[in-house]
Amino acid sequence: MPDFFRRFVVAPPARAGDAVVFAARAVREAFRPPFELRETARQLYEIGWLSVPLIAAAGFAVGIVLSMHTRASLQRFGAEALIPAALTLALVRETGPLVVGLLVSGRVGAGVGAELGAMKVTEQVDALEASAVDSFKFLVVTRMVACVVAMPILTTVMNFTGIVGGWVAETAISGMGFRTYFEAAFSIVQFTDYLPGTLKTTVFGFIIAITASYLGLRTSHGTQGVGRSATRSVVLASMLMIAANVVLVRLIFFVFPETAE
Binding site for another protein (CB under 8 A): 118, 122-124, 126-134
Identity of the residue, 112 or 164, whose beta carbon is nearer to another protein in the bound complex: 112
Cβ count within 10 A of residue 248: 19
> Helices 222-255 and 110-121, interaxial angle, to 10°?
140
Phi, psi of 31 (to 5 degrees): -100, 5
| SS3 readout for 192-243 | HHHHHHHHHHHHHHHHHHHHHHHHHHCCCCHHHHHHHHHHHHHHHHHHHHHH
User: Shortest gap between Cβ of 129 and another protein (angstroms)?
Assistant: 6
User: Shortest gap between Cβ of 157 and another protein (angstroms)?
Assistant: 26
Identity of the residue, 68 or 227, whose beta carbon is nearer to another protein in the bound complex: 227
User: Shortest gap between Cβ of 128 and another protein (angstroms)?
Assistant: 8
| Sequential DSSP letters for 14-53 | HHHHHHHHHHHHHHHHHTSSSP-HHHHHHHIIIIIGGGHH
Identity of the residue, 75 or 122, whose beta carbon is nearer to another protein in the bound complex: 122
